[in-house]
Amino acid sequence: MIQWSSQNLTVAAAAGLAVTAMLYLVTRKRRQDTRLYELVGEVASLHIFPVKSCGVVTGDVAHCTKNGMRMFNVMDRVWADRLDALSCGDEAGAWISQYLGENGLQLLVLLPGMATRPARSALANSADKVGFPDKCPYHLATEESLNDLNSRISSPEGPISFGNFRPNIVIKGTHQPWDEDSWAYLKIGDKVKMRVLEPCDRKTYLFCRRCNLTQVDQTKRERRKDEEPLKTLRSFRMFPENNVSPMFGIFAGLDEESDIRVGDPVYAVRRYRR
C-alpha cells in the first residue's frame, strides 16, 4: 500500500496546478485572434435608421450588438419581412397613416428578447441574427468610394451623399476608392470585431446590390430626375457575375460586442491583395 506524506501531496498538487495553468495558456493562445490586421482608416460618422426609409439618427458613440447598432437606446431599421413585433399604438398608427395618406398603417417595434431571424448571406453563421434590417446587421461604406463616384457624376441636381446609401458606419482615410471590396474581417477600436458578409466582390460572387431608393433626394424627399447614382454606378460597378444592380458598400456581422466612436481606428484583414 502506497503511503502519501503531506510533502508528497503538496508536490502533486503543485504539479497539477502547473499542468492546468499550461493547458489554460495553450487554450487561450489558440483562441487569440492571429489574423494579420492592417490599418485601413478611421470611423468618420455613425448612423442608425430606426424606421425604413425615414429619418436618420446620428451620434458620436454607438453600442454594437449582434443584432445591429444601438444609439440612444434605439436600434436600426425596418424592412419588409414577416416577424412578430409590438404595435406602438393607435395614435402612432393614425399619425403615420395620415402623413402617408394610406389608411390602416401601424408603426411596429421589436423589443429586446423578442424573436429575430437569420441574416441573409452565404457567409452568415448561426449567431448572425437580425430583427427588421434587410440582410445583415451592419452596413458600412467609405468616403473615398463616395468621392470617386461623385467625381464621375456631372449633374445639375448636385452630388450624391451618404443619405442616398444609408450606411451605419462611414469610414474615411482608406488607401484608395473601393478598398473595402477586398476586406474579409474588421476590427474597430480595441474590441469590436466584424466579419464581412457581403462585399462588392467579383471573386467570391457576393454582392451588396443597390436599389431604387438610392435615387431619392433625402433633403427634397423626391426622386432625382437624373437617375443618379444608379446610372453612373451601372457604368463601372456592374460585375459580370451580377447583372441585376450595381454595387456600393459592404454588409457585416458582429463577433465581439462593444462601443465604437467617431475617430476610432479601423483595421482589416484582406481576402486578397488589390
Least confident of 10-24, 28-42, 105-119, 124-138: 10-24
Tell me the helices (H) and strands (E) count for the chain, helix number first: 4, 17
**Cα(16)–Cα(24) distance, integer angstroms:** 12
Q: Average of pLDDT values for 72-78? A: 69
**Cα(131)–Cα(68) distance, integer angstroms:** 9
Burial of 25 (0-12, 13-18, 19+ CB in 10 A): exposed
Which one-letter DSSP state was computed for residue 134?
Answer: S
Which one-letter DSSP state was computed for residue 5?
Answer: P
**Cα(141)–Cα(164) distance, integer angstroms:** 12
Q: Distances from the Cα of 263 to the Cαs of 65, 183, 260, in angstroms? A: 19, 20, 9
* % of the chain surpassing 90 pLDDT: 38
**Cα(171)–Cα(35) distance, integer angstroms:** 21
Report whether pLDDT(269) > 60: yes
Per-chain mean pLDDT for the chain: 79
pLDDT at 209: 56
Name all domains of the chain by residue range, CATH numbers in brackets: 34-75+115-270 (2.40.33.20)
Cell digits of residue 14? 503543485
pLDDT at 205: 42
Least confident of 129-133, 202-206, 263-267: 202-206
The backbone torsions φ and ψ at residue 187, rounded to the nearest 5 degrees and listed phi first, read: -130, 125
CB 173 within 8 A of CB 41: yes
Number of residues in the chain = 274
Q: Average of pLDDT values for 35-60? A: 90
pLDDT at 22: 53
Q: Please report which confidence band the pLDDT of residue 187 belongs to, taking 50, 70 and 90 as the band edges.
A: very high
pLDDT at 206: 45
Beta pairing partners, 169: 46, 140
Q: What is the distance in angstroms between the CA of the first residue and the CA of the last residue of the chain?
A: 71
Residues 145-182 have pLDDT tens digits of: 999 999 999 999 999 999 889 899 999 999 999 999 99
Residues 90-139 have pLDDT tens digits of: 998 899 899 889 899 888 777 666 666 666 666 766 666 666 666 678 99
Element (H, E) at 30: helix 6-31
Residues 212-258 have pLDDT tens digits of: 678 777 777 788 899 899 999 989 988 765 566 788 899 899 999 99
CA-based nearest residue to 73, from 59, 53, 90, 86: 59
